[in-house]
Amino acid sequence: MSDSERGIVEVGDEMRNHYDVRYMVTSVETGDLGLLVTGRTEEFEKVWAFFPYELVAAEEKEYDWHGWAYKGHATLPCGVVVGYVNFSGLRVPGPRPLVEYDAQFAKTIEAMKSELGEMQSRPTDIRLD
């Protein structure tokens, strides 16, 4: 496979999460709205996250974000930092089916649009005198 055919994340890549924990990618599923990536840490803990195609990376982990347990960021093998979301933490035995991540992120997009619309339509209290 040439570099032009390589995906942004491939099985065997090493990534880092927002806590700088390194993990090896073991599977990548391509959805309509993002990638479901699973991997294993050096301690062989299973990790997973959904990487929406259009999500800005959060500087800090945000909990209870638009129906997700949390939103965070990870560093791709090329050094680019991207955002991800997840339904749950490590106490759950594995990721949900990819269609559930796509469906929830579709709802998230609508919630963000609504939130942005509310912010833009709010009257301001700025006085120039």
Q: Is residue 88 part of a domain?
A: yes
Query: What tokens were used for 57?
Result: 């990376």
Q: Which domain holds residue 56?
A: 14-121
Q: Is residue 24 part of a domain?
A: yes
> 124 falls in which pLDDT band (50, 70, 90)?
very low
Residue 21 Cα to chain centre, angstroms: 16
Beta bridge partners of 23: 15, 41
In a domain, 77, yes or no: yes
Instruction: Write down the pLDDT at residue 18.
Output: 85
Strands 68-75 and 22-30, by their bridges, are unpaired
In a domain, 2, yes or no: no
For residues 107 and 66, the answer to whether their CB atoms sit within 8 Å is: yes
Which tens digits make up the pLDDT trace of 38-93? 999 988 788 899 999 989 888 888 888 888 988 999 999 889 999 999 987 655 66
**Window from 24-33, 48-57, 110-119 with minimum mean pLDDT:** 110-119
Within-domain flag for 1? no
DSSP secondary structure string for all residues of 9-75: S-TT-EEEETT--EEEEEEEEE-SSEEEEEEEETT--EEEEEEETT-PPPSS-EEEETTEEEEEEEE
- The percentage of the chain sitting over the pLDDT mark of 70, rounded to a whole number, equals 81
**Residue 7 belongs to a domain:** no
Question: Amino acid identity of 67?
Answer: G
pLDDT band at 126 (very low <50, low <70, confident <90, very high): very low
For the chain, the domain total comes to 1
Could you tell me if 70 and 78 are in contact, meaning their C-beta atoms sit under 8 angstroms apart? Answer: no
pTM: 0.81
Tell me which of 101 and 88 has the higher pLDDT.
101
